[in-house]
Amino acid sequence: MRLKDRVALITGGARGIGYATAEVFIREGAKVVVVDVDAEAVREAAQSLGGGTVGMTMDVTRRSSVEEGVKKIVDDLGSLDILVNNAGIIKDAQLSKMEEADFDAVVAVNLKGVFNTTQCVAKYMVEQGRGVILNASSVVALYGNFGQTNYVATKAGVIGMTKTWARELGRKGVRVNAVAPGFIKTRMTEGIPDKVMEKLESMVPMQRMGEPVEIANAYLFLASDEASYINGHVLSVDGGVTT
């Protein structure tokens, strides 16, 4: 078991990649805290995952919500060893049509939320002298994407923060890395028309969409001691899109 007895916090963990990551981490011996803004989804996920999974409602855009949640995790479980900043939303539109409110909403969750959660968690990790922080970026952060000004900006920003935090926290025993998923089968992609889906798949050298568990396995590797000398890296898991 590669994560035996370690405590992992996964934001946006009630569905999709976050849920798959929770499953993989539990299988490898971790005590997992699944957090999401949707209380009912959290309850259902924690019940389904079993294995002593802790479910917690948290709004990563609200600093007080994050501070209270992280403190409770440390108080109740004794440590916090792994953070997976997975929570994210999309509100797509071309530049000429994008509403300011939609730009701000995506930035609040995908960028400010990562900052809020990491700053709160890092304090405890530095105190205990160890920890792993994993951030969800995206393949589009590396080459841009039509109609996703807000989303691409946040995911590119996450890469910048990852590299900065790796420099600041590495000397204190905390590793910080990012994963850049390609086109993955999640709730976000369910509404994509078949013709668009076929076009997306044709862009991938492996000619298929990725599965959430394939991203979860990347998080597992980076969270484990097998990646003990990897810090400040962005791991693309995209079937070769960025080759």
For the annotated catalytic residues, the residue numbers are 151
CA distance 58 to 109: 12
The radius of gyration computed from the CA coordinates of the chain, to the nearest angstrom, equals 17
Residues 6 or more apart whose CB falls under 8 angstroms from that of 154 comprise 88, 106, 107, 110, 111
Any idea what DSSP says for residue 15? S
CA distance 130 to 146: 40
- Phi, psi (rounded to 5 degrees) for 180: -115, 90
**Distance separating the N- and C-terminal Cα atoms of the chain:** 32
CA distance 19 to 22: 5
Of 178, 171, 164, nearest in space to 134 by CA: 178
